[in-house]
Chains A and B, each alone.
Chain A
Amino acid sequence: MIKAQKKFRRTAILMVFVLLTALLSVINIINFTMVGEDADRLTQRIADHGGFLGRDDDPAFAEDKGFGSNPMKGHPGPMGPGSPDMNMSIRYFTFAFSEDGTTAETVAFRMSAVSEDDAKLWAASLLQRRTGWTNYTYRFRVYEGRDGRTFVTVIDQGRELLPSYRILLISVIGGLLFVGLSALILIFVGKRIFGTLAEADRKQKKFIAGANREFRQPLTILSAETEIIERTGGPTEETRALRRQITRLDTLVEKLGTIGIFDEEDASRSMLSLSEYLEAALDASAKAFADSGKTLRSSIAPEVTLQASPEAISRLAGELVANALCYSLTWASFRLWREGDRILLEASNDASLPDGSADQAFDRFATLANAAASADPADAGAADTCENNHAGLGLSYVKEVVTALNGRASARVSGGVFTLRIAL
């Protein structure tokens, strides 16, 4: 549950970060784009007027859209490039270059930040381009004049870009603060949510464990009473039926005992050799595999040790091998090795399961109907034995043990081969 909580927290924070970044990126991109478009409209207007912005008494200038509005009369004037006061405030220069680009004539020069000669050189460096940003805050346009010369107009958009940069900075700082705050909230909320879930999960396991324990003693009593009845009056059909039902309940009790009732708190850990436990499980099953006509292969590195309880490791090894015996068709293989600090265990077999069915492998009660599971009950080590000795695939317990040991278990089915991989 702690792992799920951490995963939820990581995923949620990542989602918040991604969504916020996307949103703020879109806003800022649109903002900067609009500034660029406004600048382009301005440079286009300058280009349309032969390289300089129209004079106040230019009739053509007065015909521009939005001019003629008088704010004092209650008509709001257009803002931005359409404003009638734009020609008074814009800082720009325009140079006309000869065909070979060597001679430049000043068409308009209204800028203080750079000298006219430097501006001329600057414009000359832009001759090979069409339009864009230059020196971060200046927008330029290169165009053909009516006289065939090449005009270069550069306008200063620093004042217009300043608010956009402010918005960008506020977006970044605000976004980071928001993500941080979201993380704190998610940690707090996550603890409450997962605390409730963990408690519910713990109660479920305790209930199953308690139910399992409660069933056991009555079964002993039933068995004893049946024995007494038979000793008194001999076996009857009724006592035989009783014994059959007792057997069924015995099996159910054992199955309940295998359904993830792994309470690590009750188990004492010590340094154990996983190699030895796995080898023992494999050796103990060798005859069953042989009787089933299945090949068992293994490559177990020696002295692979870990801190765990013997019950957990015994069951882990036993369930893995038993699962392979039940569900493999012709072969099963086991591999155990170390990679640095990690212990890796891989169990494969030709279970012939449908691709994508591996997700169910760790579900409690999950059973998969493959050829092995539906084999003739008369065959040694076949489905009847599997059914009577396993709750489903038995891998739900494997996953619980691995999780309790802070490991990871994953399964995949590909090309008819089922592979279970455990990393501890």
Chain B
Amino acid sequence: MRILLAASDRDLLRSFQKLLSEAFGECVTAFDGAQALSALAAAHERPDLAVLDHDLPRVQVPDILRQLNQKHLPSIVLLDGPVTAHQLTEEPLPCAFLSHPFSPDTLTALIQKVASRALADESFSAGGITVEIASFRLKNGPRLSLTEIDLLEQLARKASSGELPGAAASDFASENTALAAENAEPVTGEASTAVLPTGPEFSGIGAAVSALNEKFRRLGAPARIRYRPKKGFELVADDD
């Protein structure tokens, strides 16, 4: 897989180019937005996935994302803070967000997940909503991030399995690696800490739920995500 890594910090480019090359085979770098667009335009060496730092000079990230989305190329945007509901509802939307600071393993895992999703020609439905996974969007609707797709997938799976009516907040705190990768860096090292449901992780769940509800509203979909006490998040009819 050929990865495009665009960031304005040369140290970040150098270190992650080495690591991502080892992990995926090839990693091309771009120091600014103009270089990134040039790399995307290259017919024979077009990257398979782009990782963009949020503050690229010369050409802004949204302009690059538009090009990527038009070409159906998956993308990850690196942020300097937790992702907000506002960012999740803005277009153009990347496939995933990842907040600094993060470890190389986190980025690697996220790239693998985004790439696999982009290749999965699948869709699933729940509550009158259809998600086209490879396109990272709602059918005939707005784009979705990986967090939102995972959230909807869990809600759909649990609802159809009948084991639990919905997904609990704690499920997302521990099982959703993409969510954890996007919004909370797992602590490594000797002093491991238990993860409390606060801070960016909890905010990430709230942001994704709020963003999805807003997208359902824009689409005119008859559904919304609600939290039922002791039962967790559920995808329910809009008038419930």
Contact = CB atoms under 8 A, between A and B. Distances in A.
How many B residues are at the interface, by size bracket?
A: 35 or more
Name which of A228, A258, A318 has the most chain B CB atoms within 10 A of its CB.
A318
22 contacts: A215-B101, A216-B99, A220-B102, A247-B188, A254-B200, A273-B226, A276-B226, A279-B230, A280-B233, A284-B197, A284-B202, A285-B196, A310-B211, A314-B202, A314-B203, A318-B199, A318-B203, A319-B198, A321-B197, A380-B194, A388-B191, A389-B198
B161 interface: no
A310 B208 CA distance: 9
A105 interface: no
A225 B15 CA distance: 6
Contacts of B160: none
- SS class of chain A's interface: helix, strand, loop or mixed? helix
A325 interface: yes
A309 B102 CA distance: 25
Contacts of B74: none
Interface of A: 212-213, 215-217, 219-221, 223-225, 227-228, 231, 240, 243-244, 246-247, 249-251, 253-254, 257-258, 266-268, 270, 272-273, 276-277, 279-285, 287-288, 300, 309-311, 313-315, 317-319, 321-322, 325, 380-381, 384-385, 388-389, 394
Contacts of A273: 226-227
A361 B142 CA distance: 43
B173 interface: yes
A310 B210 contact: yes
A251 B22 CA distance: 29
Contacts of B169: 280-281, 283-284
Interface string B185-199: 101111101101111
Interface stretch (B25-33, B77-85, B132-140, B143-151): B77-85
B15 A228 contact: yes
B229 A279 contact: yes
Contacts, number: 180
Contacts of A277: 206, 227
A219 B210 contact: no
Q: Which 10 A-B pairs have the closest CB atoms?
A: A314-B206, A318-B198, A219-B101, A216-B100, A310-B210, A284-B197, A276-B227, A224-B15, A284-B169, A318-B202
Nearest to B171: A284
A212 B200 CA distance: 14
B12 A220 contact: yes
A191 B78 CA distance: 41
A120 to B, nearest CB: 87
A267 B84 contact: yes
B170 A283 contact: yes
B86 interface: yes
A284 B206 contact: no
B173 A284 contact: yes
A384 B190 CA distance: 13
A221 B168 contact: no
Nearest to A380: B194
